[in-house]
Structure 1
Amino acid sequence: KISSKISEKSSKTLPYSQFFIGEGEKLPSIEMSAAQKAKKSQRGIASNKLGEWLKEKALHELIDSI
Structure 2
Amino acid sequence: MKKVTFTFVGQDSEIMAEKLYNWYVDGGLEDLLVDTLTEEGPASVETLEIDNAEREIILSCTYKNM
Give me the TM-score of the superposition, normalised by structure 2: 0.33
More helix, by proportion:
1
More strand, by proportion:
2
Structure with larger Rg? 2
Give me the TM-score of the superposition, normalised by structure 1: 0.33
Higher RCO structure (Cα 8 Å, ≥6 apart): 1
